[in-house]
Amino acid sequence: MEYGQILWDDGLIAEAFKYSNENKDSIPVETSLYDFFQERVAKMFQDLPTEQADKKRKALLNVASMWGAYVGSPVTRQSLRFYWLEECIEGENPFVAETYHKILDEVAKVARGKGRVLLSHKVNGITSRQGPDSRPSITTTDGKPEEFDEVVVTTPLGWLKRNKSAFKPSLEPRLEKAIDSIGYGCLDKVYITFPSAFWESGSKLSTLSTSQSTQGLDSKGSTPNVTATTAPLHQPSSNDASSNYPGFTHWLSPAYSPDTNPSHWDQQGMNMAALPGSTAHPTILFYIYGPCSQHIASLLTSHPASEHDALLLAFFKPYYSLLPNYSADDPSCKPSAVLATAWANDEFAGYGSYSNFQIGLEEGDKDIEAIRHGMPEKGIWFAGEHTAPFVALGTTTGAYWSGEGVAYRILERYGKKGSEAQ
């Protein structure tokens, strides 16, 4: 808790945002967020004996590694120069306890009712408008092109990076540069479900030396909001007395699983038994990112499907076995199901997930604007979390806003207002 408060509760995170905002034009492009943390942490705990102070500094930097699960890449890759782009919408940043299916059903009503939706059609060619009398077209793997008035490309940034050759003629140079420049991470989820939430019964929080809880931190909302890819801090505390285990656990640089995790990748887990009402279930949701995500994906591609569950459980057992009340002989502690997203294996996700801003980036804000602008005069537009307004980059809200923004721009191009589209 001590280290989490130093990091989050109007601490290093807020300080880093402020520094990035005020110095974004002068920060060297190779300076990482971790560099900033190291410089600040070196000045802390000066009143303690050297050995004790060094131990606390190391622990705090280990806690800071949790930032990787917010952006899909290690904290050492996060650009300090463009860290300000990670600060997002003010107010609550809720964790969706169920799924988005109700929202999607509502959003899709018009398209389903008035449009023609083709599923299982792989696009391998996008031809832009070449003159006032031509129309943009899309070609699928069956070789048949279809013409449209306008084309809105909503593929993930990772797909764009790997498929720029799909655009005919080639994309404009500034647009290609922007697509190449913005980072693309790898953020995955691994769900491990048990017959019951054994960790919830009479757990002793004081014994959790391997974990850090963020529950109750930032109660004043003083830390700038960030994307809720993991447990968001800006949430009201739960008053449910039935849950006595924290909603978030962080296994710091684990050195006790050398066979499965020799690189000591930190592990972060959400206690889904702490969700409200009927949405609660006996599942630990692990967030993995960067090299760890790629390792898990590689394990799955290099082994037959029949071995996947065993491989996943072998990797994560060193962590869930440290939860309170675990016993290898207790049936309630034996996983009943396991599922990994493994986006690094998904062609249509661009073999990864989550746009981010990595060291070496020179014009991150202008790159976002270039992709957001697209090629409207040629009938090619772009939408998605990588084209959202700066205050919503990397969020579901931002992805929606980006599509809405393109729709309004297209309507304006045809001399209409948004209200006329209803």
What is the pLDDT averaged over residues 323-344?
96
18-57 pLDDT per residue, tens: 999 999 999 999 999 999 999 999 999 999 999 999 999 9
* Residue 348, pLDDT above cutoff 90: yes
- 289 bridge partner residues: 187
Using DSSP, state whether 356 is helix, strand or coil.
strand
* Residue 211, pLDDT above cutoff 50: no
Contact assessment for residue 396 and residue 403, using Cβ atoms and an 8 Å cutoff: no
Contacts for 39-43 with beta carbons within 8 Å, 24 or more apart?
A: 40/12, 40/15, 41/12
Whether the CA torsion 388, 115, 108, 160 is positive or negative: it is negative
What is the pLDDT averaged over residues 162-168?
96
Please give the Cα distance from 252 to 271 (Å, whole number): 17
pLDDT value at position 238? 46
Residues in the chain: 422
| Strand 183-184 relative to strand 267-271, pairing | unpaired
Tokens of 329: 């002989």
* Residue 213, pLDDT above cutoff 50: no
Residue among 393, 313, 399 at smallest CA distance from 355: 393
Q: How many CA atoms lie within 13 A of 285 on its CB side?
A: 20
Tokens of 148: 């449209």
pLDDT value at position 366? 98
The pLDDT-based confidence of 206 (bands split at 50, 70, 90) is very low
- 225 bridge partner residues: none
Q: How many CA atoms lie within 13 A of 73 on its CB side?
A: 19
Residue among 220, 219, 331, 201 at smallest CA distance from 271: 201
- List of residues 6+ apart from 115 with CB closer than 8 A: none
The pLDDT-based confidence of 90 (bands split at 50, 70, 90) is confident
Residue among 127, 130, 126 at smallest CA distance from 155: 126
Strands (E), 312-379: 337-340, 355-356
pLDDT value at position 396? 87
Please give the Cα distance from 139 to 6 (Å, whole number): 53
pLDDT value at position 228? 52
Contact assessment for residue 227 and residue 386, using Cβ atoms and an 8 Å cutoff: no
| Strand 267-271 relative to strand 283-289, pairing | antiparallel
pLDDT value at position 227? 61
Contact assessment for residue 86 and residue 71, using Cβ atoms and an 8 Å cutoff: yes
Please give the Cα distance from 61 to 191 (Å, whole number): 27
Segments in 24-71 forming alpha helices (H): 33-41, 50-64, 68-71
- List of residues 6+ apart from 101 with CB closer than 8 A: none
The pLDDT-based confidence of 207 (bands split at 50, 70, 90) is very low
Please give the Cα distance from 270 to 21 (Å, whole number): 31
The pLDDT-based confidence of 243 (bands split at 50, 70, 90) is low
Average pLDDT, the chain: 89
Omega prior to 318 cis, within 30 of 0: no
Of the candidate ranges 114-123, 216-225, 325-334, the one whose mean pLDDT is the lowest:
216-225
pLDDT value at position 419? 53
351-394 pLDDT per residue, tens: 999 999 999 999 999 999 999 999 999 999 999 999 999 999 98
What is the percent of the chain with per-residue pLDDT over 70, rounded to a whole number? Answer: 87
Please give the Cα distance from 299 to 399 (Å, whole number): 31
Domains of the chain: residue spans and CATH: 1-93 (no CATH), 101-184+354-421 (3.50.50.60)
* pTM of the shown model: 0.88
pLDDT value at position 208? 38
Gyration radius of the chain's alpha carbons? 23
